[in-house]
Amino acid sequence: MKKYSGLLANNGEFDIPSNYGVGLAINFSKQLSIAFDVTRINYKDIEALSNPVPTASELNPMIGFSADRLLGAKNSVGFGWKSITAYSLGVRYIFDDKITLRAGANVGEEQIPRRSGLLNPITPAMPAKHLTAGFSYKNSEHSEWSLAVMHAFRNELTAENTAFLGTDVKFGIAETTLDISYSYSY
């Protein structure tokens, strides 16, 4: 991400964190399936995400951050995230040969520690609880429409002892998305 070399740690280096999980799906009938997953996301392995955010005590009033903590430097400022575990539960019900209904829930740990809140208001990654619902409609042998709604519940964080003169900064976010897709199989 060379466009962000002056912002993200290691001159814009930004990898997707490794993750691994285990899941179980049970088909209760031809129509009803329930799945449960546990996933570990290793944010700690990505410096742009895990490097600590400076606090007021690390800020030099004369020069700002020290040279080794400047944005984009080798060990520069990151978002301060920690690795998390997330739990997901999903239900699928095949109503008939045209309509499939789906619903799910996801609960995860918060990846942002309180001392790392300073830069995180620019990320939409705070919600730790999500609900989803949707359906697919197969209008022909090769063609299908899908619609899904996801709601991530509001989560608030107060970043303590920030670099803004040691003040606390409170922020929060809730998200709702609507996804519509069309697929055609050959």
- Per-residue pLDDT for the chain (186 aa), expressed as one digit of tens each? 667 666 677 777 778 899 999 999 999 999 999 999 999 999 888 887 888 776 655 655 555 555 556 666 677 777 788 899 999 999 999 999 999 999 999 999 888 776 666 666 666 667 789 999 999 999 999 999 999 999 999 988 777 666 555 667 777 888 999 999 999 999
Count CB-CB contacts under 10 A for residue 118. 21
Q: Taking the mean position of all CA atoms in its chain, how far away is CA 118? A: 17
Q: Look up the pTM and report it.
A: 0.77
Please identify which residue in the block is written with the tokens 């209760």.
Answer: 28
Report DSSP state, residue 28: S
Element (DSSP H or E) covering residue 130? strand 129-138
Q: How far apart are CA 130 and CA 104, in angstroms?
A: 8
Dihedral through CA 57, CA 157, CA 44, CA 16, nearest 10? -130
Q: Both ends of the chain: CA-CA distance in Å?
A: 36
Domains with residue ranges and CATH for the chain: 23-184 (2.40.160.60)
